[in-house]
Amino acid sequence: MTDTAVESVTARYAGRRMERVEDSRLLTGHGSFVDDINRPGMLHACFVRSPFARARIVGFDASAALAHPGVHAVLTAADINPEVREAWHAVAGKDVPDTPRPPLAEGEVRFVGDPIAVVIAENRYVAEDALELIDVDYEPLPAVADFTRAVELAETGAVVHDAYPDNRAGGMGGAPPDEETFANAAYVAAAHVYQQIHAPVPIETRGLVVEWQAAPGELTVWASTQTPHELRAFAARLLGIPAQKVRVIMRDTGGGFGQKVVPMREDMCILLAARTVSAPLKWIEDRRENLMSAGQARHVDGDVRMAFDADGNILAADIDFIQDVGAYPTPYPVLTTAAIGMFFPGPYRVPKSSFNYQTIFSNTAGLAAYRGPWQYETLTREILLDIAAREMGVDPLELRQRNILRRDEMPYVNPNGMPYDHVAPADTLDQAVKILDHEGFRREQADALEEGRYLGLGYSAYIEPTGAATGHLATEGATIRMESTGKINVYVNGGSTGNSLETTVVQLTADALGADIDDVSTIQGDTAVTPYGAGTQGSRSGPMTAGAVNEAAAILRTQILAIAANLLGADADDLELRGSRATVRTDPDRSVSFADIAYRSYYEPAMLAGTSPTLEATARFNSEAMIHWANATHACTCEVDIKTGHVTLTRYIVSEDVGPMINPNVVEGQIAGGTVQGIGGALLEEMNYDDDGNPLSSTFVDYLLPTATEVPAIEYGHVEIPGPGVGGYKGCGEGGAIGSTPAVINAINDALAPLGVTITRLPATPASIVEAIRNSQEQATK
C-alpha cells in the first residue's frame, strides 16, 4: 500500500453518529430471519426430549408416531450418530481433547431436555402431535443437580459421563498462592462468591433450514448464526463432504450473544437428518427448548482473596473456583475457563496473582459462550475490593484510585502474563467519577440514611481483550467491488446480529474509497460470495473488519486512481478521491465520477490504453496486534427498600475506552445492550433446578428478564485511546455485560452496609435481600 493511496482520501464518515443502515428494513418488518425461509416441499423437525435429568433409555417405540398422517420419519441415535465424520470446532481446534457431544443421546439421557430423537413431519404442528405418540421407557438414575456437590455425589454413583468418574472435566492452576505474603499483609480481604446460571436468551431462538441436493451433492443451509463460514466448515467436516459443496446463508439474526457462535447438538442433528429426507428440512427452536437446552452460562462458585499493605496497595490476589459445565459443554470448556484466572488481576497494579480451577460436569444443559464468558473474574474482584475498603475504613473509590493502572504505566504485564497496552484504566475511572459527582452523592446518601432510606453506590472497573488474534480469529476477509454504475458493494462474512456491522463497514468503506456513503452497500452472511471470516465473537468485529476493509480498499484505490489518471491525463499521485469522484488536486475543475470510471472499465475497456479495468479487490487482513485491550468503569446508584428487598436503580454511568469510535450510536447501543444483560444477571435472571435436576424456570413467567422499568437511562462517557490496529479501533461488544453485574451488586452492598449486610450470592432478589437483612439482625442480637 503506497503513501499516495493512503493520502488520496479524507475521512468523512468514521466517528460520526450515522443512522443505522439496517433500521429501515428491521423497523418496517422487512427483516429476513430463518423462520421466514420457505422452500418447496419443506418438512419440519421437532425433537423428542428427555423428561429426566439422568436416566437409562430401556425402550423406544415410535410405531404410532410413524403411522400418524403427515409424519415422514422418526430418527434416533442409531440412525444419526454413526453418520458423524468429524465434529470439532475451530475455536478450540481439531487437536484439542474434547468432552463427549453426540448429536442424540445414546443409551442414557443426561439432562432434562436432552434430545433423543427427531420427528420429521409436514409441519411443526404434526411433528409435535407425533411426539405425544412416542413411547419411551426410562430407568431413572441418580442425577447431579448441584454442581458444587458433583465430586462428592460421584462417590454414590451419580456420574454424568462414565469417562469422567469423578465428574471433573478438567482444570488448571497457575502459580501457587504466595501464602507468606498473605500471612504478613496488613490487610487480607476474602469472600466466597456464587453466581447463578443465567443465559443469553436471544430474542430469536436457534434455527436452521437445510436443503440437501443428492445429485450434485450440495448442501445449502439458512441459519441463525454468528459465524456463517465456521458453520459451513463444520457442516462439511460433520458430513464428510467437500467444503465447496456447502453454502451457508445468514440473513438477519435476532441476537446471539455467544450462543450462536458454534454449532450445537441440535444443529448437528438437522444437518445429518437432512440427507435422509427428500426435501428441505426446517427446525426452529421454541422458547422452552431454548431455556432448557440451548446452553447455560455464568454458573461459578469460588473463593477470592486479596492482600494489602498498610497504605492499601494490593500485594497479592488469589482466586480458587469451580465452574459448572453441564452435561454437554460446547466447545471444550477446560481451556476457555482459564481466562477467568488469567484476567483476575484486572486493571489494577497487582504484583502477585494465583489461580486454580476445576470444570465440573452436572446433569444440566451444557456450558455455552455468553457475552464476556470470563465475567466472573470481574464480578469477584470488584465485590472483593468493596469488601476490603469497608474493612479498611476507606471509600471503595479511594481504594480503586490507589491501585488502578495509569496511562504512563503502559505497557504493563499482569502477573499472569497478560500484556496490557494502549489503555489507561485510571482515565475511565476518573471520568465516571466526574459524571457521577461522587462527593455529591455521598452527601445525598448520608442525608437519606438519616431519613431511614438506604442509598448505595457501586463501582466496577475492568479490562478486556478484544479482537484477540489467535488461531482462526487472527484474520478477516473483505471483498470490495465497484459495480458498472459506479456504486460500491463491500462483502464481509458477518451479518446483522444486532451489532450493526452493516452500518460500520459501509462507513469504513466509504471513507477508504472517498465515496459518498449513499453509494455504498454491503452484502454479508452468504458464504458463496463473501470471503472467509471468523464471524461475530470475542469483540473482534470492529478492529478486524476495519483491517479487512482497509486492505481490500488499498488495492481497489490503486485501480481507481490508475483508471482515473488515464481518463484525466494526469499523474495518479496528483489525484484525490472524494464525493465519489477522482479530482486533480491542483485543478479541481478536472475530475471524473466513479460512474464514468466504472462505465469505461466495464463497457469501454479498450479506451483505457492498457490500464487494467479491474474494479474489484479481495484481501485477508492478518492482525499483527495480538490483543486490542479495551476497558471501562461502571458506576451505579440505587435505593433499597429494606422491608421488601426491592432494588431501584437510580443512575447508571459507563465510561468506556474502545478507541476511536466508528459510530458512537453503535458503540453506545452495544454498551447499553450488555449493561442491561448484566443488570438482569444481578437482580433477576436465574435458571433454577430442583434436587432431581428438573428445570423450574423454563418460561418467561419464571425466568425473569429486565425491562425498561428496571433500567434507568444510561449515561455515557468516552475515553478514546487508539489501539494498535487499523484506525485504532477496539472491540466493544462484551464489556457492558462484564462490568454491570458487579456494579449493581456493589451498589446494593453499599446501601446495606449500615445494616452489616454483604450480598455475595447472586442473584440479589428481593427475597434474598430480606433474608440477608434478617440474618444480620439475628446475628447482631446474639
pLDDT single digits (tens) 7-66: 566 789 999 999 999 999 999 999 999 999 999 999 999 999 999 999 999 999 999 999
Looking only at the bridges linking them, the beta strands covering 207-213 and 281-284 are antiparallel
Question: Computed from CA positions of residues 118, 120, 124, 127, in that sequence, does the dihedral angle turn out positive or negative?
Answer: negative
When pLDDT is averaged across residues 666-670 and rounded to a whole number, the result is 96
Residues 664 and 685 in one domain: yes
**Under 8 Å between Cβ of 461 and 383:** no
Q: How many Å apart are CA 431 and CA 408, to the nearest integer?
A: 17
Q: How much of the chain, in percent, has pLDDT values that exceed 70? A: 99
552-566, 591-605, 623-637, 710-724: segment of lowest average pLDDT: 623-637
Q: Residue 593, Cα to own-chain centre: how many angstroms?
A: 42
Q: Where are the alpha helices (DSSP H) in 479-540?
A: 501-513
Residue 5 pLDDT greater than 50, yes or no: no
Residues 278 and 404 in one domain: no
In which residue are the cell numbers 425498561 written? 708
Q: Identify which of 656, 345, 338, 623 has the alpha carbon closest to the alpha carbon of residue 468.
A: 623
Q: Would 16 be classed as within a structural domain?
A: yes
When pLDDT is averaged across residues 545-564 and rounded to a whole number, the result is 97
Rg of the chain (C-alpha set): 28
Residues 339 and 447 in one domain: yes
Residue 451 CB-density burial (10 A; 0-12 exposed, 13-18 middle, 19+ buried)? exposed
* Number of residues assigned to the chain: 782
- Percent of the chain that is helix, strand, coil (3-state, to 5): 35, 25, 40
Q: Would 563 be classed as within a structural domain?
A: yes
Number of CB atoms found within 10 A of residue 96's CB? 13
pLDDT in tens, 421-460: 999 999 999 999 999 999 999 999 999 999 999 999 999 9
Confidence of residue 3 (pLDDT cuts 50, 70, 90): very low
- At residue 781, what are phi and psi to the nearest 5 degrees? -90, -5
Q: How many Å apart are CA 753 and CA 747, to the nearest integer?
A: 10
Q: Would 166 be classed as within a structural domain?
A: no
Q: Would 193 be classed as within a structural domain?
A: no
Residues 711 and 767 in one domain: yes
What's the mean per-residue pLDDT of the chain? 96
Q: Helices 396-403 and 376-392, interaxial angle, to 10°? A: 110
Residues 495 and 597 in one domain: yes
Residues 660 and 718 in one domain: yes
Q: Where are the alpha helices (DSSP H) in 47-132?
A: 63-67, 77-80, 124-131
Last residue of a domain, one of 566, 598, 622: 622
Q: Residue 491 is part of a domain; what is its CATH number? A: 3.30.365.10
Looking at residue 470, its pLDDT comes to: 79
Q: Would 154 be classed as within a structural domain?
A: no
Q: How many Å apart are CA 521 and CA 525, to the nearest integer?
A: 14
Last residue of a domain, one of 622, 641, 656: 622
- Residue 333: which residues within 8 A CB-CB, separation 6 or more? 99, 169, 170, 323, 325, 359, 367
HEC-encoded secondary structure of 317-373: EEEEEEEEEECCCCCCHHHHCHHHHHHCCCCECCCEEEEEEEEEECCCCCECCCCCC
Residues 283 and 308 in one domain: no
In which residue are the cell numbers 458498472 written? 484
Residues 649 and 610 in one domain: no
Strand, coil or helix: 138: strand
Q: How many Å apart are CA 551 and CA 554, to the nearest integer?
A: 5
pLDDT in tens, 600-652: 999 999 999 899 999 999 999 998 777 999 999 999 999 999 999 999 999 99
Looking at residue 472, its pLDDT comes to: 82
Q: Identify which of 208, 272, 206 has the alpha carbon closest to the alpha carbon of residue 235.
A: 272
When pLDDT is averaged across residues 114-130 and rounded to a whole number, the result is 98
pLDDT in tens, 187-212: 999 999 999 999 999 999 999 999 99
Number of domains in the chain: 3
Instruction: Note the maximum CA span of the chain.
Output: 97
- Residue 232: which residues within 8 A CB-CB, separation 6 or more? 221, 243, 246, 247, 248, 527
Q: Would 160 be classed as within a structural domain?
A: no
Q: Would 168 be classed as within a structural domain?
A: no
Residue 1 pLDDT greater than 70, yes or no: no
Helix (H) or strand (E) holding 548: helix 541-568
Q: Identify which of 462, 179, 171, 201 has the alpha carbon closest to the alpha carbon of residue 302.
A: 171
Residue 756 pLDDT greater than 50, yes or no: yes
Residues 463 and 497 in one domain: no
Residues 270 and 285 in one domain: yes
Looking at residue 117, its pLDDT comes to: 98
pLDDT in tens, 246-268: 999 999 999 999 999 999 999 99
Looking at residue 8, its pLDDT comes to: 63
Q: Would 177 be classed as within a structural domain?
A: no
Q: How many Å apart are CA 359 and CA 170, to the nearest integer?
A: 5
Q: Give CA separation, 479 vs 3, 158, 508, in Å.
A: 21, 53, 13
Residues 462 and 527 in one domain: no
The range of the structural domain enclosing residue 224 comes to 34-141+205-253+260-293
Looking at residue 496, its pLDDT comes to: 74
pLDDT in tens, 460-515: 999 999 988 778 888 999 999 999 999 999 999 976 788 999 999 999 999 999 99
Last residue of a domain, one of 569, 599, 622: 622
Q: How many Å apart are CA 585 and CA 573, to the nearest integer?
A: 9
Q: Residue 114 is part of a domain; what is its CATH number? A: 3.90.1170.50
Q: How many Å apart are CA 493 and CA 260, to the nearest integer?
A: 15
- Residue 761: which residues within 8 A CB-CB, separation 6 or more? 193, 194, 768
Q: How many Å apart are CA 27 and CA 271, to the nearest integer?
A: 32
Helix (H) or strand (E) holding 520: strand 520-524
Number of CB atoms found within 10 A of residue 690's CB? 10
When pLDDT is averaged across residues 281-286 and rounded to a whole number, the result is 98
Strand order of the β-sheet with 587-593 is 575-578, 581-584, 587-593
Looking at residue 152, its pLDDT comes to: 97
Q: How many Å apart are CA 486 and CA 593, to the nearest integer?
A: 8
Residues 634 and 658 in one domain: yes
| CA angle, residues 189, 191, 197, in degrees to nearest 5 | 150
Looking at residue 7, its pLDDT comes to: 55
Looking at residue 10, its pLDDT comes to: 73
Residue 2 pLDDT greater than 90, yes or no: no
When pLDDT is averaged across residues 141-164 and rounded to a whole number, the result is 98
Residue 758 pLDDT greater than 60, yes or no: yes
Q: Identify which of 414, 556, 73 has the alpha carbon closest to the alpha carbon of residue 269.
A: 73
